[in-house]
Structure formats: C-alpha cells, structure tokens
Structure 1
Amino acid sequence: MRPQAERAASDGLIWGLQRRLLVMLFLPLGMVGMVSVFFHYQSAGTAALQQDQQLLHLVPLLADSVVVSQDGSDSRALGTELGLALLLAPPVEEFLKEREGFAAYGLMDASGRLLLGDAWLPTVLPSTGDAEFLSVVEGGVTYRVVAQRNDTAAGELIVMLADGSDARQNWLETVLLRVLLPNLLLLLVAAAAVTWAVARALRPLIDLKDAVEHRSPRDLSPIDAESAPAEVRPLVASLNRLFSLVNDQTQAQRRFVADAAHQLRTPLAGLQAQVEAWAQAARSMGAGDMLSLRVDQVQRMRDATRRTSQLANQLLALSRADSVSADAQPMEQVDLRELCENILALYLDAATSKQMDLGIESAPAQTRGHAWLLRELLINIVDNAVKYTPPGGRITLRCGLEETPAGWRAWMEVEDDGPGIACDEQTRVLQRFYRLPGTQTEGNGLGLAIADEIARAHRTQLQLAVGAMGHGLRVRVAFDAVTPPLATVAHGPQRGRSADGPVRESKEG
C-alpha cells in the first residue's frame, strides 16, 4: 500500500505542476487567439467596406461603357442587345478580368428586363438615384451586388455590378486556417512538451523526496549534494543546514537530559539514604512506637527537598523558554517597573534573613514580550544575586528607558556587591549547569542560563559587567521599547531603598 501511495503522491505532484503550467500557457494563447479573431474580423469589415466603395466607383464607369451600335463592329464590345453594346472602360475591364468567374454585370431597363449581362442577377429596381447594395448567393458563392439608376447612351438604365470576392464571407475560414488551427496545434505541441519536461524536470525532486522519506528518523547525516542535479543543490544545501540544526538541538537535548539526571541524582540520593536509614531503624520498632529525628537530619532533608524542587522548577522554566523560541507565541505588553516591584516584594524576606540592603531604582518602561517568562528571567537573576551576595551586602534592581541609534530600548538590571564573575568566565556561566570553580554556595548552575535563554527568546541577550564600585556583578538585559510619551521619558527614575532598616522598601511619589 505504501509504494502505491508514494507513486500516487509523485504522480499528483507532476500532474499538479503540469496542470498549472498548461493553464498558465493556455490563458495567454487563448487571449492572443481572441485578439487575433477580433482584428481579423475588423480587417474583413474594412476590406468589405473598401469593396463596396470600389463597386460604387465602377458603376458609373460601367454606365459610360454603354454604346449604341447597330452593326456590332466594335471589337471591344462584349455583346449586343437591341442595338446596345459595351465598350468597357479600362478599370471595369481590369476588374472583370481579375475576378473572372467571381464577377458579374447587368443592364436592365426601367421595368427590370435584362438587356445585357448575367441572367442570374436579381431584379432590383432602385426608386431613386442612390445605389442599393445586397448580397446574393449563387453557385455557393456570396456576391456583393450594387444596383443604381444611371444615364447611359441608351437612356436611363439600371446598372448592376457583382463581386464574389467579399472578404466577410471568407473571414471565418481565414480565422480557422490562420489563427485557430495554428494555435490549436501549438497548444497540443506545448501540452506534450510540458508533460514531458515537467516529468523529466521533477524527477530529481522525486528521487530526493524518496531518499529523505526512506531515511531513519535518527539519521540526520547530510545528503550528498554533489550527486544531486545542479537545479536542486540549493534545496539539498538547505536540507543539510536544517539537518545540522536539528542534530545540534537533539544533541543539546540529550546533554540537557543527562545533566538534569546527574543534578537530580545527588539530592534524590541524599533523600533516599535518609529515608532508608529511618526505615532501617523503624524495622526494629513496633507499630505504635515513635521514631525520633535529630534536628540536623530534618534540616538536611529540608535542604535536599528544596534543592530538588528548585531544580525541577528551573528545568521547567528552561523547557518553557525553549518551547517559546520554537513556537513563536504571540507577545503582550509588559510593564517592567511593575515587574521589578513585584520581584522586589517577593525577595524581601530572603534578603532580611541575610541582613541585605535590597532596593529599587525604577523609571517607567514597557516592552512587548511574554510576561510570565520575563518574570522568570528576573526571578533567576535576583535569586542568583541573593544567593551569592554575602550577608550585609547590597542589591539594587533597576529599570528604565534609553534612546539608541536603533530606537528606544527598555532595560532591566540587577547589581550586587558580591564576589562577581571574572571577565573570562562571564561567557561560560551562561552555559547550562556550569558553576564557577571553588563555589561553596549550593546551586545548580541554571539561573543565568535560564535568564539568557529567555532573553534570546525575546531576541536579545544578557549583558554581564562588573559593578559600579569596581566589584560585584551587574546583569543587564534590554528589549525593544513600546515608544513612550514625551512626558513619561522626561520623568526621572523613582527610587526606593531601605532607610532605617536593612530591607524596608519605600517608594516616593
């Protein structure tokens, strides 16, 4: 069933392209044919009008050609009847010779009796001196006939002249032979050529499709571009780039899972060892006996549980940041000042326990992004600062706007006076699970990596620098700003910092 489905898909691809090409070919050719028919018809009408004008011009000449001859001695006379003869004027004689077999003339008296000429001509009795035109079919030929009363040498006669070369009776045949038939042949040849050319041109694509389709899902090795036709090499190169990106992402996911398993193993092993020790002690006790626990055991178990929970939350945040980068979900307007104030309130208790000075210096700033991810970004940066800044230290959250050559930027930063990060390590600390050598504080090496991943999902990145006092760390991230009103830009930053206590938050304005 599958080979039949694949052949059906290939045939459908070829036939679909053939159909589109044929339609694109037929439409202009059909329009050209219609225009040609129209112009041929106009040309035939013009020729017919010129024919009528010529007949109208020759009728007086034919009337002047009538002579009265009793003996018929004139060698140029066409015939005699009741003493009448025709001594043709040169234009009339030339007209009859050029259209021999397709031209006729006639002379009738006032009652319609034929005196000279072809007997098949109809009897036409013009009531005035104006010429009358009519079409007559004789012997399968349509004749254009003109009849007019004219004064002749034999008195007033009805002079008739017929022309069987009327362009309008042949225009349909001309169109069929000169327009429709050649275009029809051209369409048939083009259809055959398109069918053959499309099938041949798409064969490399069909072969490439079959090669990719029959690959193992785990096979992300590049396709040999040299063996592919030149026409599809750009496509092969694009596929190889895609395979490379997917392979890199797959490898990163595998490393991530392996690192996550390694990081989770330590706290889980500690929890399991502690629980196993309690279970071993409980085996020798009765069902109603109380199991006593030391304070240090409970604290170790709490620390291990907190570390496991924090690591799970960080892994979830990292996974969400990856999914946002891939899915490009719609963004919303985010108030960075409000975000900084909320995170400040969230970490006041943690800063109080370490006697830290935690404050904020904020100005109105808004951007477009994922509010829940930007909250996670700031939480990880502040958590990293609180965790690694020694007791009694100083941490400041800031946000605001700045004008750059590329436009307005909304920014946030967190600055501390802790140990900081050496310049040669600032790039490496953004890697997942990387921790500075000699770090004693517990952690997973994910905080700044998550923040940087979220920043990249918002088309920016973290900027690490030394603190303003020459030590500590300043982490900054800037986004495209929602263009603010002038009054908002002119309004200065709003500062809040503990005044008579280590972490009491105060807001002005």
Structure 2
Amino acid sequence: MKSGLQRRLLLLLLFPLGTFALVSIYFDYQTAGNVALQKDQQLLRLIPLLADSVVAPGVAPEKAPVMLLAPAIDDFLKGRPGFAGFRLADAEGDFLAGEAWIPELLPATHEPEFHSIEYNGVTYRIAAQRTKTRAGELIVQLADGSDPRQQWVRSVLFKVLLPNLILVVAAGFAVNWAVTRALKPLIELKDAVERRSPRDLSAIDPLATPAEVQPLVTALNRLFDLVNDQAEGQRRFVADAAHQLRTPLAGLQAQVEAWAQAAKVAQASGSDGAVTLSADKIIKLRNATRRTSQLANQLLALSRADASATASQPTQRVDLKDLCESILPLHLDAATRKGIDLGLEARPAQVSGYEWLLRELLGNLVDNAVKYTPPGGTVTIRCGPVASPEATAGGGTHEGVGAGQGRWGVFLEVEDDGPGIAPHERGMALQRFYRVQGTVGEGNGLGLAIANEIARVHHSQLELSDTAIGPAGPFGLRVRLSL
C-alpha cells in the first residue's frame, strides 16, 4: 500500500508543484529579460544626450572636454549612485573624462554596441557609440549596474532556485503527511485482512471503512460468502457421504467378519486347499472392509473437525484426566493382542475447548501409536499442567487451567517406542493422506491430519519429537498438544 498507492499520490501531487516551480523560474527570467530590454532602450536614448553634453573641446594642456550634463543624464547618474557612470574617449580610445574603471571599447562603426562587464562584484551593462560631438569624433560609453537580467543570472540560486526548492520540499513533507493520514484507514484495513487466518472468512464491517472503498469491501464480503458457501457445501457433501457409507459398511463388515471367523474354523479343522484359498481371500476382504470403514469414519471426523464448522459452537470445560481415563479402555484389547504395554500417567488438568473433538484427537493418536508400535512395545498416555512461558510473562490466570494454576498451561501427550518419524517427514506427516515412508500396516494417512486439524481449532498445533536415542539412532514418537 505504502509503496504503491501512496507513492503514486505523492508523485501526482509533487509533479505539478515542481512544474509550477519551473514555470515560475521561467516567468521570472522572462520578466527580467523584458526589464533588461527596456534598460538597453533607455541607454540607447541617453547616448545621444551624453554626446550633446559635450559643449567644447578641452583646453590645453587638459584633454578633458568642457561638459554640461543634460538633465536626463544627470538624473540617470544621481538616481543610481555607485551603479552608473560614463566614459568619454577620443577616436583612438584614449580616456578623456568620466569613470576610469569603465573599460576601453572601440566600436568599428557609428552604430551603438552593448557589452556586459563585471566590476567590484556588480555586472554592468555598457552602451558604446562612436559619434560626432562639439569636441570632434568621440567614443561615448554609458554604464548601468542595475540591469535585472544580469543580476538575476548571478542571484538565481538564492533568490529563485533556493526558495522554490524549499517550497517544493516543504510541500512534499506536507503532502506526505496528508496522504499518510488520508490512507491510514486503507492501511489499517490491509493490516486487518493480512492478520486474518486463512480460514477466517467472516464479513468486514463496511461502515468501519472510508466511503470510497466501501464498494470494494462489499464485493469482498460477497466473495467471502461465496467461498464460505462453497466450502460449507463441500463439508456437507463429505460428511453426508461418510455418514451414508457408515451403515452399509458396518453391515458389510459384520458379514465379512462372520465369514472370516467361519473360514478360520474350517481352516483349523483341516479342510482342503480350496477352502484354505477361500479363507485367505475372505481375510483379505475383511481387511479391505475394515480399512474402508475406518476411512469413512475418519472422513466424517475430519469434516466435523473443520475450524469453520466449530466456530459457532460454544466451548466447555474439559477434564483431561477423565478424558484420558475414558480413552484407555477403548484401546486395551488392540494393545493386548500385540502384547503392547498401554499405560496412563494423568494428572488433574482442565482446559476450555470442545470435548468431543479432543476425544477424537486423543483416540486417533492412541490408535496410531498402538497400530505402528511393534509387538512387545510400550505406549503411554499423559496429561497434566505444564509451565507456560506466555502465561508467566503475562502474569495472569491461564484460561485453560483450573483454579490455583494461573501461571500454568496444560498438555495432552501420547508416547510410543515404535519406529518414529524422521524429522524431515514430520511436517508432511500432518498432511492428509500422507503415509510415512517404510510404514508397515494398514492406514489411510488421516489420523495425524485429523488430530492436527483439531489442534488448530483449539489455537494450537501438534509437536512431534523423538522418544529416545538408541544404538541405531533416535526412535519412538512423542506427539504433544499444548493448550
């Protein structure tokens, strides 16, 4: 904004000022030239009067002729004391009378000539003419130091350029201040839009903006509404599709589970190879059905976890210890089947948030940990208060902590001793449908993405780190949510 519209306004306003300054200089020079031309014409009229002022030739041994200055010549000399003078010389240019500092000029004809000289810091305009007088042919010279054009050329820096430059600079500061003040509402609007989250498409108040940009704000609000409607339609479609898939998939999964169980019994009773082949196909079909059912449930959870979908819902006080204790039994059977030690280290902690979303987040993290931890491994669920640098610096009561925990935050954490995630893949692991390279087991790449989406709803983010370092390097994964 500042380098674009503001600079353009400054240039558009300062350019006319600079043009006016140049025009002013030009007219000053033209005015001085007109006055100088009038001065030349005045000298041209006075030259014959100066020649007529010679009434007789000089008497020996004096060379100076006898003179009686005409009234006009006398007024001219007295009206410019120190800035006017005359010089009389014979036909060869030898000085006869007047001012000795006026240089010797020898006109070749009887036509008047004009010259400019500088003496004692003053520029003089000199008119010289060879003419006949009562003392014979003389060279008559008349000097005028009040020529405005000659003085203008000398004093142009201090009397014309410098004042105009100061005027332009002062006008530039004034215009810059005025433009900055005038554009302040636009800059504040730009900053407000830049500070918005990419998911915040709420309308901008048109009455809080200048009248000139209110049509633009109205158009932006209309665009926000269209994008919101489109996103809401997509969310509804995903949620509806996932929801409609859950019932038939659940029935299909129940049927396949029954077939798989029957196939296992037949296989255990020593049936022929055809039955064994059929049992293998049914088990593969069961696994595919489980993955499809899990994908439908995760898509539904992802749609429900969208930040826009929860914006209008009120938050509530969530007891994290109770939440962890309720999640643990849901995954004990899966952990027991793999011989995984599933433990809980929970301390009392409360936070303001969405209980059903935090339950979904914790469930996804525990499910991932149990799924990818090798048999005989360990998975630990933790929660509790933790020192919060921001809360400590603020010195106030942290919103998400119970009474008596004003300088503390809270955390949820799931830790395992599985293969872990390489540091360069942790950012991508939070993206949808991304599976870490070398991952063994079933999965759709949505578990961490759903958990991260829920973390964003609670104005936080997941922190991934190693659990420990062994002989082969770091291993295990610790996923923490700080609130």
**Structure-1-length-normalised TM-score:** 0.46
